[in-house]
Amino acid sequence: MPEVIYCPGKTVEQIISIFSSLAEKGHNVLATRAEEHIFEAMSKTGKFPHARYEKLARAIVFEQEKIQPSKNAIPILTAGTADLPVAMEAKVTAEIMGQRTELICDVGVAGLHRLLAQLKKLKDANVVIAVAGMDGALPSVVGGLVDCPVIAVPTSVGYGASFGGIAALLTMLNSCASGVTVVNIDNGFSAAITATLINKKIEAASK
């Protein structure tokens, strides 16, 4: 598992100091919810020449150790394009932990035919991440189609009555589809951690 830094609430100097301390151990490092100016300040130090900034995910990724990719990919679904930042946070997190991922966008209930076209990939997966705002219905639909765990991620995308993602969160928590587990609003990071642990356990047991 890589070392992870949650950036909000920390100064740029604190983040760089923590990042340096973790990187010196030779491990991979991930900084989440990092604004671009933080990466720019890190780059100016010259200490992390191979670090990269994933703009959509708002993440700084520093890979030093070779990552052995998983056998099975983790599908990461988005209901809409507006959910992409959260999905990308999940993708970046899972990948630095050695997981292959496949991003499948715009497969929400407003375009259900696009989801059904991806059904084989979903049924082949050990675990699926479903990211949705608005009514938050996507995880329930997916949960009714697959026989693996579904990690549901509510996003803060939506009009006024979505209450910043609370409506989607409640929909997901009240899902009648078995096997749906819910993380916090916009928390692509936790979804990726959970999905990674599930995928690793299954792959280890199948060897």
- The DSSP call for residue 83 is G
Place of tokens 């200490």: 47
Q: Is 78 helix (H, G, I), strand (E, B) or coil?
A: strand
The packing angle between helices 36-45 and 12-23, to 10°, is: 60
Cβ proximity of 97 and 203 under 8 Å? no
| Res 58: pLDDT | 96
What one-letter code names the amino acid at 76? I
| Res 66: pLDDT | 84
Q: How many CB atoms lie within 10 A of CB 194?
A: 18
| Res 78: pLDDT | 96
| Res 184: pLDDT | 97
Rounded to two decimals, the pTM is: 0.92
| Res 49: pLDDT | 86
| pLDDT by position in tens, the chain (length 207) | 777 999 999 999 999 999 999 998 888 999 999 999 999 999 999 888 889 999 999 999 999 888 888 999 999 999 999 999 999 999 999 999 999 999 999 998 888 899 999 999 999 999 999 999 999 999 999 999 999 999 999 999 999 999 999 999 999 999 999 899 999 999 999 999 999 999 999 988 877
| Res 198: pLDDT | 96
| Res 3: pLDDT | 78
Contacts of residue 124, defined as CB under 8 A and 6 or more positions apart, other chains included, come to 72
| Res 98: pLDDT | 93
Contacts of residue 71, defined as CB under 8 A and 6 or more positions apart, other chains included, come to 100, 203
Place of tokens 């929909």: 171
| Res 111: pLDDT | 86
